[in-house]
Structure 1
Amino acid sequence: MAIQRTKLLLFVCFLSYALSVLGGKSYYDILQVQRGASDDQIKRAYRKLALKYHPDKNQGNEEANKRFAEINNAYEVLSDSEKRNIYDRHGEEGLRQHAAGGGRGSGMNIQDIFRSFFHGGSEEEEEEKIVKGDDVIFELDATLEDLYMGGSLKVWREKNVLKSAPGKRRCNCRNEVYHKQIGPGMFQQMTEQVCEQCPNVKFEREGYFITVDIEKGMQDGQEVVFYEDGEPKIDGEAGDLKVRIRTAPHDRFRREGNDLHTTVTITLVQALAGFDKTIKHLDEHPVDISSKGITIPKEVRKFKGEGMPLHFSSKKGDLYVKFEVLFPTSLTEDQKTKIKAILG
């Protein structure tokens, strides 16, 4: 009895940690699968994501380790038919009540889940030799604000979907070798294609929204992958949908790698006598760009740590501000005399 209570306590702690890490994020979104995904689809999605974010590949990377924990927690629920059913019907609260009521837990930690899934095999050994459909790649413009703070975008997706059709079709075709006697004691090796009879299928076009999570600091060309959401393949595995991130033009800032560039216009008086000035950053926090000295036209000043966040890091790039000086279009004779007297 005491052992059961201990196991229950461990499972509740594990589940509480999972829920605190996920912060309300859907388990299906974390594994990048649709809500009605099959067990095989969930396993394949888990395999690819777990290999990508495994701590051995991302040493010292806290964000990657956090993602690895999320992936394992999501898989721990969705790979269990009982827990998945409770989650689908009642969400996270249902799982908490299930655990509190003595529901069974796996008793496995994150590394146990990973090892039990991969059986200690290498990444290369886990790559299956499966016929796949074509990958679908499209570029998505992300705002600098989303790339600075993180965000999500809903995108309409249309693709071919396999549906049942009348009749039968040849499937699972393979070449079988047999020997044909061509004379006394003489045989010839022959090859024959053998196929099974499977239910017929057809392609239909369907559309739906997908949610693309924009992570802080993502660079141009980085991809958000939705496994098996590309072009389907009859008797095979669908390709992947790859959303390639591209930075949308911004009206105030220009991005170069992890740095930001902007231009600020000041008056001639401000350039000569100094000025107090702030600019709004992408998240609306003020950046003090004041100067007590002289600012020459097209001068560039660096503001350390005010650039873009680095992907999967707490560090940030720098902000470079170029100052344009607005000269007066005309001066009176009296103004000219006074300027000459001041400047010598």
Structure 2
Amino acid sequence: MAHRRTTKLLFLLCSLCYALSAIAGKSYYDVLQVPRGASDDQIKRAYRKLALKYHPDKNPGNEEANKRFADISNAYEVLSDSEKRNIYDRYGEDGLKQHAASGGGRGGGMNMQDIFSQFFGGGQMEEEERIAKGDDVIVELDASLEDLYLGGSVKVWREKNILKPAPGKRRCNCRNEVYHKQIGPGMFQQMTEQVCEQCPNVKYEREGYFVTVDIEKGMQDGQEVVFYEDGEPIIDGEAGDLKFRIRTAPHDRFRREGNDLHATITITLVQALVGFEKTIKHLDDRLVDIGTKGITKPKEVRKFKGEGMPLHFSTKKGDLYVQFEVLFPTSLTEDQKTQIKAVLG
């Protein structure tokens, strides 16, 4: 009885740890950009594409890419193993750790290069073989400046064709077979015949679901977030990819130019002449001091170093450029004119 209570308690603790880990970071499925019900072939193809993209040989000196490659390899090692995947689906990473600690599963696992070599032979950067592929779907995604500065995510409703079983059979996996036909003594003619198999029939049905697009800090306009094999499907082939192309959405305070931010601030003529204290609210709600004790000329631009956008895959930041517009009075009294002449004349 005590053993059953202990087992139940361990199960509840594992479930709680799994829930917390899911909240804290990306799941292995998110890392490989595949759905939870992905087939083994989908997982393999997703790994191949991501491993080629983030391999250290293609990203020398890029620590973030190296970390991505390690995460991709770790996710693939778990999801490609049916036993580990089942434990992960039920109990998360803590369940895997407990399983390994108890001596279960394969000891030691594989390192990143071992996994990569399985696909590309000794670590050679081969490109993926050509197979029939459906159309890619490209979606222009307006990302807020806040998400591009801090990192964030956007939920997008997606509708696409899904292949479903249908009554009947169809010709599939057709190929040309070459044979030789004798047409006379010692004479043969080469012939080609198309040979097909009989496969279950399929049909297209339209389905909709939400896709969560992760916006990384410092992403530039034109960069893409790719969901492999989530584009248009094709019969007897691989579905195309779904690509979200990043586009910076307009902002009420800042304008983005590459890694730099630009802002326009209006000050009074008095402030322009005698100086002023002023702050501007940044994208992370931090207040940046842009005041001065000196004179500010109309249209003057001041640079605030390191207050721009973060660089993608880097700890560095661009700069903030503030242009000052001076608000002149619309009219002056004679007395005011006399006083100004006395002070400035």
TM-score (norm 2): 0.90
Alignment-derived partner of residue 262 in structure 2: 261
Over the residues paired in the alignment, what is the CA RMSD in angstroms?
Answer: 1.7
Q: Does 1:244 align with 2:245?
A: yes
- 44-53 or 185-194: which moved more? 185-194
Alignment-derived partner of residue 334 in structure 2: 333
The CA deviation string for residues 110-160 of structure 1, in whole angstroms up to 9 with x for no partner, is: 233222332225333x41121111111110000000000000111111111
Q: Does 1:285 align with 2:251?
A: no
Matches within 5 A, 1:135-214: 135-214=136-215
Mapped to 2, the partners of 1:42 and 1:244 lie a distance apart of 23
Alignment-derived partner of residue 5 in structure 2: none
Mapped to 1, the partners of 2:109 and 2:185 lie a distance apart of 66
Per the TM alignment, residue 272 of structure 1 is displaced from its structure 2 partner at its CA by 0.1
Alignment-derived partner of residue 119 in structure 1: 121
Alignment-derived partner of residue 13 in structure 2: none
Mapped to 1, the partners of 2:108 and 2:36 lie a distance apart of 22
What SS does the corresponding residue of 2:288 show, helix, strand or coil? strand
Alignment-derived partner of residue 134 in structure 2: 133
User: Runs of at least 4 residues of structure 1 off by over 3 A?
Assistant: none
User: Is the CA contact (8 Å cut-off) linking 2:116 and 2:123 kept in structure 1?
Assistant: no
What SS does the corresponding residue of 2:310 show, helix, strand or coil? coil
TM-score (norm 1): 0.90
Per the TM alignment, residue 23 of structure 1 is displaced from its structure 2 partner at its CA by 4.8
Mapped to 1, the partners of 2:65 and 2:29 lie a distance apart of 18
What is the percentage of aligned positions where both structures have the same residue? 86
Matches within 5 A, 1:28-177: 28-104=29-105, 105-120=107-122, 122-124=124-126, 126-177=127-178
The CA deviation string for residues 80-130 of structure 1, in whole angstroms up to 9 with x for no partner, is: 111111111222232232223222244322233222332225333x41121
The CA deviation string for residues 190-224 of structure 1, in whole angstroms up to 9 with x for no partner, is: 11111111111111111111110100010111000
What SS does the corresponding residue of 1:169 show, helix, strand or coil? strand
Mapped to 2, the partners of 1:110 and 1:178 lie a distance apart of 45
Per the TM alignment, residue 79 of structure 1 is displaced from its structure 2 partner at its CA by 1.0
Letter of the structure 2 residue corresponding to residue 170 of structure 1: R
Count of aligned pairs = 324
Residues 188, 109 of structure 1: alpha-carbon distance in 2 compared, 3 angstrom cutoff? closer
What SS does the corresponding residue of 2:165 show, helix, strand or coil? strand
Letter of the structure 2 residue corresponding to residue 339 of structure 1: I
The CA deviation string for residues 287-334 of structure 1, in whole angstroms up to 9 with x for no partner, is: 111111100111011111111111111111111000001112222222
Mapped to 2, the partners of 1:174 and 1:107 lie a distance apart of 40
* Unpaired segments ≥5 residues, structure 1: 1-18
Mapped to 2, the partners of 1:61 and 1:190 lie a distance apart of 55
Letter of the structure 2 residue corresponding to residue 238 of structure 1: A
Mapped to 1, the partners of 2:183 and 2:131 lie a distance apart of 38
Mapped to 2, the partners of 1:189 and 1:173 lie a distance apart of 19
Mapped to 2, the partners of 1:286 and 1:69 lie a distance apart of 37
Per the TM alignment, residue 276 of structure 1 is displaced from its structure 2 partner at its CA by 1.1
Mapped to 2, the partners of 1:186 and 1:58 lie a distance apart of 59
Alignment-derived partner of residue 299 in structure 1: 300
Per the TM alignment, residue 62 of structure 1 is displaced from its structure 2 partner at its CA by 1.6
Per the TM alignment, residue 25 of structure 1 is displaced from its structure 2 partner at its CA by 1.1
Letter of the structure 1 residue corresponding to residue 33 of structure 2: Q
Letter of the structure 2 residue corresponding to residue 160 of structure 1: N
The CA deviation string for residues 25-72 of structure 1, in whole angstroms up to 9 with x for no partner, is: 111111011111111111111111111111122122121111111111
